[in-house]
Amino acid sequence: MTTIITTAMLISWTLAGKRIFSVSVPQRVFSLRTGAPRSFRRKKGMPERGYSVTGLDPDRTVKCSGRQLRISPKASVELCRTIRGMKLPDAKRLLERVIELKQAVAYRRFHKEVPHRRQLNEHFYAGRFPQKAAGRLFKLLEELEANAEYRNLDTERLKIIHAAAQRGTKVPKRNPRAFGRSDLLQGTMTHIELVGYELE
């Protein structure tokens, strides 16, 4: 059980050795268990997440994000790097070709032990076909397009100026082993942010 005391009692106890008992402070309720006011405690519910990009023009930009996605963070980083700077229709066509295994995505950062591919859209040797991450990113592009239509922006002139992927929380998983044992694994979730800008 948590004991509740007020700030006035705390200050009178602290200053009791100096024989000062008249202290005028606002009455805030503290908890002895946490030491913080009740108003400062973490509230339950959905967390408030922001964007890692600032200084955007609110009249010509549109944003969307996907949080705690069950996709590979490495594949998401490479896909976001690939579509960054592209127009929205071109990025959607590229992701459709990746899902159909017709276009490979170059793995420039996470290229260790990645096989060579001929179907790369840029001059590099290592690449893969991240179908699951490309499918989820394609849905986010559709959400970005819907947000642009809602704000009366031209989707044909919409350029992706910001595409970023960050690692999210860990998810515990089990890998079965011999003799009825299992190893504890940790899967990593992914956050993705997209920002589009209407060109003139």
Q: How far apart are CA 53 and CA 165, in angstroms?
A: 12
> Per-residue pLDDT for the chain (200 aa), expressed as one digit of tens each?
444 444 444 444 444 555 444 444 444 444 445 555 555 555 666 667 889 999 999 999 999 999 999 999 999 999 999 999 999 999 999 999 999 999 999 999 999 999 999 989 889 999 999 999 999 999 999 999 999 999 999 999 999 999 999 999 999 999 999 999 999 999 999 999 999 999 98
Distance (Å, rounded) from C-alpha 155 to C-alpha 144?
9
The CATH number of domain 61-174+184-198, selected from 3.40.50.2300, 3.20.20.140, 3.40.50.1980, 3.90.470.10: 3.90.470.10
The phi, psi pair for 86, rounded to 5°, reads -90, 160
Contact 188, 167 (CB under 8 A): yes
Predicted TM-score (pTM) of the model is: 0.74
